[in-house]
Chain A
């Protein structure tokens, strides 16, 4: 099974500042035949269900603001919130869908306001 590990477990960022979350998979999730990374990011706000924000490692889902960006390839990925807003307070999860089953999630990163 592919293990997905996020860092840090939590971070506190001032409003308007950058938040960076890392995600590392134990095997490459890049499919060479289509050059796509099979990695997604989800945002779970307090008291809510998760919501897809990034697919294919870097494509924003519908309605996601452009301050939220995904990047990376192979085994190393990053979610960046360029200017943190109050509504971005949430737990963020990365998830690989390259090898399934199982679909595996990172342990989550909690983003708070400093």
Chain B
């Protein structure tokens, strides 16, 4: 399995508090991604990074920010968590190219109460 670690794996937080999820890789892949997954919606891209300090928005970026200060870490921050951000969050990594595959982490289950 690709070396991707998401932390924490589970978190319960209160509405209005900031939350940071971490994705750590040991594969030295250039691209990193954050998704959320909710029943009936499949996987939706939040933000992605195509290099250190290079990030871009995905489909559902409102309410989320990201940072990538080094190759191996990609942080997802909810500045002020809301109940609508209760979800399962997945991180993924890949190399650039039309024929490369993405590797996914095990997910973080976040509950905002």
Chains A and B belong together in one complex: no
Q: Which residues of B contact A (CB under 8 A)?
A: none
